[in-house]
Amino acid sequence: MSRRRKDRGDNPENIFEELTTTNTSSSGDALGSTSAFANAAYGSQTNNPFGAIQRTSYRASNLPIDEIYPDSAQPRRVIPSSLRQYWNGQPQNLPDLFGRWLEEIRLERDGQTLDIDAILAGETTEFSQLDPDGDTLPVVESRFGVRELALIKITELAASIQRDGLTNPITVAQRGRLYVIETGERRWLAYHLLRWRLGSLSDQDWTTIPARVVDTVDIWRQATENNARDDLNAIARTRQLALLLMDVHGIDHFRPLDVFETEQKYYAQVSDGARFSARGYAQDLLNAMGLRSSTQLRQYRQLLRLPNIVWVLADDLDWSQNFIAKNILNKAQNERDEIRLAVKLAKSQGYSVSALTVYEHLLDDENRSAKAQKSGSKLDHWRRKGLKALKKDLGNMSAGERQQLISEIRALLSELE
């Protein structure tokens, strides 16, 4: 399998130059600097698409958490889309993001604050403790909002790490003096949360994290590890498929994430199945994605053409491909319908993010349409029942009864007019 990637070298000055100059997007994308670093972390690979099988063993060491950056192209997202816009991608500024996160949750909960300090102190909460090796939340109640659930996952994991330690180091790729995360973004965020809340109150300062260092971020190995957990939502799987398709067609042929107004448009570069076919790579893609048939590849590729707001809602609310197809794609007549149906579903699931506000007028359109249909059904009912009965009875009416009926119909006609 041919994979052509640009090797930017090991000179740390090249990395820092990329961090400060690569983001040319006029949209002000806050992930620009992180994306630039992620791009710099990709190097040349072997031709084996299953790097995880022949993975070199590396000894874990403690690395400074401020020298580690998330991979902005990582399909699995930990920070909700509605909050990523408030972070400039710099690890040192994560306390500001956490503060904004808590404020958004307070607004989501009608003024009630999420007490993360109580969770870190080991007090009983509505949630089971997280397995630090699994990064999963066993049970979620629908009454909790998207942003709240995401932060609770990180906080519960942080509490577990504080109590038992980190048993599963994160995996990072080194470029110069910096590192990019291949796996373990939530564990890394948990360390930042611990330093923010407990740094001056604990024997441990939480400034370093156990990490295995690999040569490069390998998207095939990343895909295999992501899908081994079987908890990726439809949008995460679609991101994964897009990255793999970009790789087999030559990742240097595609525009970088930084230049797009939304991340969805970056992945949509491979939405054209005729131009970027999976032919010849289908079995490799299926194995890496954990899928069974080429039909599933086409179904996930179809999601690359979703409107951006639908993409965001499906990602934040963890919708499956089947759910999106059944409730949106199979019902919508056009893009406007897709947005309307997605917004309606999101509101019914308690999604209260302000991003929905600009689309709520579409629900008014639906209400007007429903009223019109209801009105039309009444008219049809009167035509079928009333007029039919009247015609049937005309033959049995006397002349006087007919004149009286004519007068009543004229009065009704006047009222209708």
- Give the pair of three-digit tokens for residue 104: 């958004």
What average pLDDT score do residues 233-255 get?
94
The DSSP output letter for 353 is -
pTM: 0.69
Q: CA-CA distances (angstroms) from residue 341 to 207, 217, 221, 360, 364?
A: 45, 37, 36, 11, 12
Averaged pLDDT, 379-387: 66
Distance CA 41, CA 215 (A): 9
Dump the DSSP string for 248-282: HT-GGGS--GGGSSSHHHHHGGG--TTTS--TTTH
32 pLDDT above the threshold of 50: no
Predicted confidence (pLDDT) per residue in 57-106, tens digit: 466 789 999 999 999 888 888 998 878 888 988 999 999 999 999 998 88
Cβ burial 194-206 (10 Å sphere, 16+ → b, else e):
bbbbbeeeeeeeb
The pLDDT value recorded for residue 11 is 37
Q: What is the pLDDT of residue 232?
A: 83
Residue 317: φ, ψ to 5°: -95, 5
Taking the C-alpha atoms of residue 11 and residue 278, their distance in angstroms, rounded to an integer, is: 35
CB atoms < 10 A from the CB of 158, how many?
A: 28
CA–chain centroid gap for 370, Å, is 31
pLDDT at 377 over 90: no
Any idea where the domains of the chain sit in the sequence? 57-214, 361-416
For 112-171, the pLDDT digits (tens) are: 888 999 999 888 665 544 444 444 444 444 556 788 889 999 999 999 999 999 989 999
Could you read off the pLDDT of 187-236 as tens digits, one per residue? 999 999 999 999 866 678 899 999 999 988 889 988 888 877 657 899 99
What is the average pLDDT value for the chain, to the nearest integer? 78
Amino acid at 342: A
pLDDT interval class at 186 (50, 70, 90): very high
The per-residue pLDDT for 384 is: 63
